[in-house]
Amino acid sequence: MRFSSKAIASLVMGVLLTGCGGGGTSSSQESFVAGNGSVTFISPEKRVEAPALSGMTLSGKNYTFNLGKVAVVNVWASWCSPCRAEAPTLVALANKYTDVAFMGILTRDNPATAEAFQRRFALPYPTFIDDSLLIGFKGSLPANAIPSTVVIDKKGKVAARISGEITVASLSELIERVSAE
């Protein structure tokens, strides 16, 4: 039996992102790993390359992240309660740290519902609709929960991750620490 690369990517994503949920059904909207907000920082000498971040966004445009600035990548879904809770904080931080590239990666979601989420919270940054981009983080700090937020340094290496809902303090500290390098 042969499997396509898309099927393998979907299987890997399912393994990475399934776990606890809030109910007795197996709906993908209720079956996800909820992070606890833990922060992981990697010292510069131990960092590995982040995957190339390029592709179609929710707005229907192609976007490519170019190295040279710190980046924040948030993995989210519109049905995820912690994602909704952290959205205003991400918007505020994206507006505060204008020299940092903020991006989202939509996972396991309906594009129309995600577009409504993006409009509701006025996300000022692009969101990729191809969650196979997450596989590229496997060798560093994979997005192991929804939401997950990864910070990439100016050299394009994965510097930190917040597994679960971000706070102003946790993400600001990481942005400032990585930006100061």
Q: In this predicted structure, what is the pLDDT of residue 142?
A: 66
CATH number of the domain enclosing 50: 3.40.30.10
In a domain, 20, yes or no: no
pLDDT > 70: what percent of the chain?
77
Q: What are phi and psi of 34, to 5 degrees?
A: -95, 120
Interval 75-103: pLDDT, tens: 999 999 999 999 999 999 999 999 999 99
Structural domains counted in the chain: 1
Do residues 174 and 97 lie in contact, with contact meaning Cβ atoms separated by under 8 Å? no
Identify the bridge partners of residue 76 per DSSP, sorted by sequence position. Answer: 106
In a domain, 159, yes or no: yes
Nearest by Cα to 103 from 78, 66, 144: 66
Instruction: Say whether pLDDT at 15 is over 50.
Output: no
Interval 40-86: pLDDT, tens: 999 999 999 999 999 999 999 999 999 999 999 999 999 999 999 99
In a domain, 126, yes or no: yes
The domain of 129 spans 35-179
In a domain, 1, yes or no: no
In a domain, 26, yes or no: no
